[in-house]
Amino acid sequence: MESHRAVLFDGQGAQEVGMGKDLCEIDPDLRRLYEEAEGVLQMPLCSLSFTGPAEALTETVAAQPALFVHGFALFSLLQKRLPAFRFSAVGGLSLGELTAHAVAGTFSFHDGLRLVRTRAAAIQKAAEESSGSMVALIGADRSAAEEIAREAQVDVANYNAPGQIVLSGTLQGLSLVPELAAKRNVRKVVPLDVSGAFHSRLMRKAAEELKTFLQDFPLEIPRIPVYSNYLGRPVREREEIRRSLADQVTGSVRWEDCIRSMLDCHIHQFVEIGPRPILVGLLRRIDSGAQGIALTTVQDLQSHEHELAH
């Protein structure tokens, strides 16, 4: 029987001190997975994930690998406990798209770690070299957000859900946004606590570095359709995957488009995997009738076992 279910992975910002500790305590295979990751990444991933401090875990070079490993490990436990678990689409928000590719078999866990390490280092470097940030527009439609971005000379970073669009760019450009938003009756402009202007033109150097790295990076055709943030639809061909992963760094995250595209394919259940339930909240804003299940811990997995087994 065909499954009408998608698995979604969290992006940067969802990291939480303590993430993954329960996984390593319950399953020696997952403990080994974390140890393998530490060896490849050459960083104290376990202590950063399990005990923090939060400031260190929030840094891009730590947060992205920590989320990738946590998502992959929790998904592995789900498959181990529920061998009958089926899904017909996979996606992830920004960094989460890499986790989605890893579980779809586009690349191995080991190669995924190398890719995440390269991406995170390039993005952190680009953020440090440019003084930028991000703001969320609450209550803006797409055309208003795009007009504001054009006038302020910033970029639309995320089309998250109806009424939730994120802009990214220079501090000077973002300082113009509240006034431009007020003119268009946008309900609220919320500054985001981020270390850089992600998904904007200020990330160009990071995108170029990632593009170079991806040229010789081993890729397979994914076993399950992976939805691209940059394109808002599934990607299947190797070259398209290479391009979309590099373009995603400077391009808009079309999350709402990804979810609507999945809904058009009759997907009705969405399983979010990550340390904090963020994507199920966006899902409700996109389609209040869609079913969202958030798995953040082993306990969540146990309490939703019955729903997920069917």
**Which residues are known catalytic residues?**
94, 199
Half-sphere exposure of 45 (CA within 13 A, CB side): 25
Is residue 278 within 8 Å of 299, Cβ to Cβ?
Answer: no
CA 44/CA 37 separation, integer angstroms: 9
* Helix, strand counts (H, E) of the chain: 16, 10
Is residue 48 within 8 Å of 66, Cβ to Cβ?
Answer: yes
The token pair at 194 is 């981020």
> Strands, DSSP E only, in the chain?
5-9, 89-92, 132-138, 155-161, 164-170, 188-191, 226-228, 233-235, 269-273, 291-295
Which are the contacts of 180, defined by CB distance < 8 A and separation ≥ 6?
Answer: 147, 148, 151, 152
266: left (phi over 0), alpha (psi -120 to 50) or beta: left
The token pair at 73 is 């490990």
Which are the contacts of 55, defined by CB distance < 8 A and separation ≥ 6?
Answer: none
Sole residue written with tokens 């890729």: 219
Which are the contacts of 239, defined by CB distance < 8 A and separation ≥ 6?
Answer: none
